[in-house]
Amino acid sequence: MKYTLNVYGWEGEFICKSLSNEQTKIIDDLKDSIGSDDYTEIRWDIEDNVDGFDMYDGDILHMSKPLNNGTTHFELYDQNDELVLKFGIEETTTTENDNEYDIKTSSDSNVYFSVDESKGGIHSYEIESDSKIYPFDFTWTEGLIFLPSGEFWSVIDSLQFRGEELEPFDHLDNYGKSSTLEIFKHA
């Protein structure tokens, strides 16, 4: 039988890209020109002021993943679109391994790091099974995004059903929660 698994909760779109020292100076000057200490205030103006800058071109990292913050939950629908199972992330287990994304600066490269958080629907997955499905049939792999500041983000990097990794086939509707931008400079 075919099923659809919908995932809900909080999601983060992470974009991390390299910045030259010259680009960083332009961004700093732009931030200073409006008298702000927060890069988020000028995020949407950077493309107009830095030649060739594409805020969605994450040459270091670009991913959209459910946040590992206890809000992720699932709804499983059968082929007749009837809800057959509803469960939370706490009813599943993590895999033994995690994926680490270590964001670093260098002497000639600073880092642009933005996060757009949203709430609501995240992804839909298609599943086939001839036997009853239980929450313990699902596992997930944690992803850790380590920042130069020493802070980190924890995400649900991948989802597996009975040991097989699932690939989303659709994105569900959600709405924005917050946007942040940080510029990490090489010390």
Q: Residue 36 — pLDDT band, cuts 50, 70, 90?
A: confident
The predicted-structure confidence for 70-120, as pLDDT tens digits, reads as follows 999 999 999 999 999 999 999 999 998 999 999 999 999 999 999 999 999
Specify the pLDDT at position 37.
86
The predicted-structure confidence for 114-145, as pLDDT tens digits, reads as follows 999 999 999 999 999 999 999 999 999 999 99
Give one DSSP letter per residue of the chain, joined into a string.
-EEEEEEEEEEEEEEEEEE-HHHHHHHHHHHHHTT-S-GGGGGGGHHHHSTT--TT--SSEEEEEEBSSS--EEEEEETTS-EEEEEEGGGSEEEEEEEEEE---BTTBEEEEEEEEEEEEEEEEEEE-SS---GGGEEEEEEEEE-TTS-EEEEEEEEEETTEEP---EE--EEEEEEEEEEE---
**% of the chain at pLDDT higher than 70:** 100
Residue 187 has pLDDT above 80, yes or no: no
Q: Residue 35 — pLDDT band, cuts 50, 70, 90?
A: confident
In this prediction the pTM is: 0.91
